[in-house]
Amino acid sequence: MSAGLSKFGKREGLYSRELFAEAANEAFKRCPNLEPKKDIEALFVGHMGESYEHQGHTGPTVSDWSGLLPIQATRVENACASSSVALRCGIFAILSGMCDIVMVGGVEKMTHRTTPDVTAFLAMASDYPFEQWHGITFPGLYALMATAHMHEYETTEEQMAMVAVKNHHYGAMNPKAHMQKEVTLEKAMSSRVIAWPLKLYDCSLITDGASCLVLTKPELEREFTDTPIHVIGSGQASDAIGLYERDNLTTLKAAKLAAKEAYQMAKVKPKDIDIAEVHDCFTIAEIIASEDLGFCKPGEGGRLIESDATTLEGEIPVNLSGGLKSKGHPVGATGTGQAYEIYLQLTGQAEEKRQVDGAEIGLAHNVGGSGATAAVHIFRRK
Amino acid sequence: MAETHPFTIEAFYRFASEKRLMAARCNKCGTLLLPPRPMCTECLSTDLKWVELEKRGKLLTYTVIHVAPTRFQSMVPYTVGIVKLKDGLKLPGMIRGVEPQELEVDMELEADFDTTLPSEWPTWPRYFFRPP
pLDDT value for A100: 98
Question: What DSSP line would sit under A52-79, residue for residue?
Answer: TTT---HHHHHHHHTT-TTSEEEEE-BT
pLDDT value for B86: 94
Cβ of B92 within 8 Å of Cβ of A244? The answer is yes
The answer to whether the predicted template modeling score (pTM) of the entire model surpasses 0.95 is: yes
pLDDT value for B40: 97
- B13 to chain A, any CB pair closer than 8 A? The answer is yes
Cβ of A136 within 8 Å of Cβ of B92? The answer is yes
Angstroms from A326 CA to nearest CA on chain B: 20
Distance CA A64, CA A86 (A): 18
pLDDT band, very low/low/confident/very high, at B71 (cuts 50, 70, 90): confident
Angstroms from A77 CA to nearest CA on chain B: 22
State the maximum Cα–Cα separation within chain A, in Å, rounded to a whole number. 57
pLDDT value for B46: 96
**Cis before A70 (ω within 30):** yes
Give the best residue of B66, B73, B76, B128 to mutate against chain A (max A CB count within 10 A). B66
Supply the residues of A annotated as catalytic: 80, 329
Angstroms from A232 CA to nearest CA on chain B: 34
Which residues, including other chains, have CB under 8 Å from residue B108's CB and lie 6 or more apart?
B56, B57, B58, B59, B131, B132
Cα-based angle A21, A362, A231 (whole degrees, multiple of 5) = 65
pLDDT value for A195: 97
Distance CA B100, CA B63 (A): 9
Angstroms from B60 CA to nearest CA on chain A: 7
Q: Is the pLDDT of residue B122 over 90?
A: no
Cβ of A151 within 8 Å of Cβ of B13? The answer is no
Sign of the torsion formed by the C-alpha atoms of A195, A198, A200 and A204: negative
Angstroms from B68 CA to nearest CA on chain A: 6
| Strands (E) located in A72-127 | 72-76, 101-108
- Chain A residues whose beta carbon lies within 8 Å of the beta carbon of residue B120: none
Cβ of A133 within 8 Å of Cβ of B126? The answer is yes
Torsion of CA B117, B123, B129, B132, to 10 degrees: 30
Domain boundaries of chain B, sorted by first residue: 9-52, 56-130
Q: Is the pLDDT of residue B121 over 70?
A: no
- B15 to chain A, any CB pair closer than 8 A? The answer is no
For strand A275-277 and strand A361-368, is the pairing parallel, antiparallel, or unpaired?
parallel
The pair phi, psi for residue A122, each rounded to 5°, is -65, -35
pLDDT band, very low/low/confident/very high, at B115 (cuts 50, 70, 90): confident
Torsion of CA A54, B65, A367, B90, to 10 degrees: -120
Chain A 104-133, residues with CB within 8 Å of chain B CB atoms:
115-117, 119-120, 123, 128-133
Chain Cα centroid distance, residue B8: 14
Distance CA A371, CA A58 (A): 24
Which residues, including other chains, have CB under 8 Å from residue B4's CB and lie 6 or more apart?
none
Q: Which of B13, B71, B80 sits opposite A136 (nearest CB)?
A: B80
- Chain B residues whose beta carbon lies within 8 Å of the beta carbon of residue A245: 90
ipTM above 0.90, yes or no: yes
Q: Is the pLDDT of residue B124 over 90?
A: no
- A155 to chain B, any CB pair closer than 8 A? The answer is no
- Chain B residues whose beta carbon lies within 8 Å of the beta carbon of residue A282: none
Q: Is the pLDDT of residue B113 over 80?
A: yes
- Chain A residues whose beta carbon lies within 8 Å of the beta carbon of residue B75: 135
pLDDT band, very low/low/confident/very high, at B125 (cuts 50, 70, 90): confident
Q: Is the pLDDT of residue B117 over 90?
A: no
Give the best residue of B82, B84, B91, B123 to mutate against chain A (max A CB count within 10 A). B82
Domains recognised in chain A with CATH numbers? 2-112+208-223 (3.40.47.10), 118-205+229-381 (3.40.47.10)
pLDDT value for A229: 98
Q: Give, for all 382 residues of chain A, the pLDDT tens digit.
A: 999 999 999 999 999 999 999 999 999 999 999 999 999 999 999 999 999 999 999 999 999 999 999 999 999 999 999 999 999 999 999 999 999 999 999 999 999 999 888 988 999 999 999 999 999 999 999 999 999 999 999 999 999 999 999 999 999 999 999 999 999 999 999 999 999 999 999 999 999 999 999 999 999 999 999 999 999 999 999 999 999 999 999 999 999 999 999 999 999 999 999 999 999 999 999 999 999 999 999 999 999 999 999 999 999 999 999 999 999 999 999 999 999 999 999 999 999 999 999 999 999 999 999 999 999 999 999 8
pLDDT value for A256: 98
Residue B82: other Cβ atoms inside 10 A: 27
A218, amino acid identity: P
- A92 to chain B, any CB pair closer than 8 A? The answer is no
